[in-house]
């Protein structure tokens, strides 16, 4: 909505609360999100450009200025420095599937990757490109939320991406549908009653530029940057479905 109001690029770092019913090493009910939305001039790769620049800069800066703190963490939980490229690798979903297939990993070509296949892909990417940080884009439309823009050349895919750090997702993003008609029909196709999201759809009615954005979970970024095995180690007061206090 801020982008519709003519802010060309906006971001927020804030607390996110989720009624997660997930009992994993990487899900909290309260985490810190970094969310950004921006006007797209020509292509959703402009959003991936921002992800690339922001995160390479963050990693560089942390490595440059936090050696003392990283060493302190390393005493308790030894880890190797993150491998990342100057220009972040981008693979299409289809390229990722192809790499997995060639390695003998079975995956649904129009579904989403499960945790095991994400890990397998990370190993293949590390071997081939020597990086632990990469973007996978052009996901199957069926694996993304209703507001994701379908690809113009093939609507089975979408203008969307996930970003992986040491084999786990840290960011989801993509281009949002900005046309009301398409937004309504996509919502219906996904079984959503459009009346329940009328405020969202109505805000698009008087002209909306093409736009996209992403959401990153910062505890996950810290956990994986330091190769830790549990997100609770990087949250001062971790909140999960079983832990409300202290």
> Is residue 27 a contact point for ligand ATP (CB under 6 A)?
yes
- Who contacts 104 (Cβ-Cβ below 8 Å, separation ≥6)? none
**What gap in Å lies between CA 38 and CA 12, rounded to an integer?**
12
Decide whether 148 or 208 has the Cβ nearer to ligand ATP: 148
> Is residue 39 a contact point for ligand ATP (CB under 6 A)?
no
Nearest to 44 by CA among 238, 210, 236: 210
At residue 58, what are phi and psi to the nearest 5 degrees?
Answer: -60, -50
Q: Which of 169, 178, 184, 222 binds ligand ATP (CB under 6 A)?
A: 169
**Residue 159 beta carbon to ligand ATP: minimum distance, rounded to whole angstroms:** 15
> Is residue 174 a contact point for ligand ATP (CB under 6 A)?
no
The number of residues in the chain equals 246
**Residue 213 beta carbon to ligand ATP: minimum distance, rounded to whole angstroms:** 11
Whole-number Cα distances in Å, 223 to 26, 92, 201: 9, 26, 36
Greatest extent of the chain over all pairs of C-alpha atoms, in Å:
57
Decide whether 171 or 187 has the Cβ nearer to ligand ATP: 171
- Whether the bond between 103 and the residue before it is cis, its omega within 30 degrees of 0, is no
Q: Which of 37, 52, 184, 219 binds ligand ATP (CB under 6 A)?
A: 219
**What gap in Å lies between CA 106 and CA 97, rounded to an integer?**
9
Whole-number Cα distances in Å, 88 to 10, 32, 170, 220: 22, 23, 14, 18
Give strand pairing partners of 240: 243
Nearest residue to ligand ATP, by Cβ distance, number only: 217
Q: Which 2-21 residues touch ligand ATP, going by CB under 6 A? A: 18, 20
Q: CB under 6 A: which stretch of 50-58, 103-111, 116-124, 211-219 binds ligand ATP?
A: 211-219
> Is residue 31 a contact point for ligand ATP (CB under 6 A)?
yes
> Is residue 28 a contact point for ligand ATP (CB under 6 A)?
yes
Decide whether 187 or 224 has the Cβ nearer to ligand ATP: 224
CB distance 138 to 95 below 8 Å: no
CA 228 to chain centroid, in Å, comes to 19
Q: Which positions are catalytic?
A: 18, 20, 26-27, 169, 172, 220
Q: Which 113-132 residues touch ligand ATP, going by CB under 6 A? A: none
Q: CB under 6 A: which stretch of 69-77, 94-102, 119-127, 167-175 binds ligand ATP?
A: 167-175
# of chain residues touching ligand ATP (CB under 6 A): 15
Residues at the interface with ligand ATP (CB under 6 A):
18, 20, 27-28, 31, 33, 169-172, 215-217, 219-220
């Amino acid at each position: 909505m801020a982008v519709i109001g003519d802010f060309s690029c906006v971001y927020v770092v804030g607390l996110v609360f989720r009624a997660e019913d997930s009992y994993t090493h990487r899900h909290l009910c309260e985490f810190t999100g970094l969310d950004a939305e921006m006007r797209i001039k020509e292509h959703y790769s402009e959003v991936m450009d921002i992800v690339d620049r922001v995160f390479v800069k963050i990693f560089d800066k942390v490595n440059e200025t936090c050696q003392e703190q990283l060493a302190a963490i390393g005493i308790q939980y030894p880890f190797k420095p993150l491998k990342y490229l100057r220009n972040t690798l981008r693979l299409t979903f289809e390229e990722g599937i192809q790499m997995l297939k060639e390695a003998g990993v079975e995956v649904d070509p129009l579904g989403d990757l499960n945790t095991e296949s994400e890990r397998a892909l990370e190993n293949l990417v590390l071997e081939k490109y020597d990086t632990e940080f990469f973007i996978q884009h052009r996901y199957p439309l069926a694996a993304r939320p209703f507001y994701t823009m379908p690809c113009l050349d093939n609507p089975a895919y979408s203008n969307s991406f996930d970003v992986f750090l040491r084999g786990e997702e840290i960011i989801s993003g993509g281009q949002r549908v900005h046309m009301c008609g398409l937004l309504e029909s996509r919502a219906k196709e996904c079984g959503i009653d459009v009346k329940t999201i009328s405020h969202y759809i109505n805000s698009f009615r008087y002209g909306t530029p093409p736009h996209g954005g992403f959401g990153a979970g910062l505890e996950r970024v810290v956990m994986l940057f330091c190769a830790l095995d549990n997100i609770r180690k990087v949250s001062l007061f971790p909140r999960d479905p079983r832990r409300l206090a202290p």
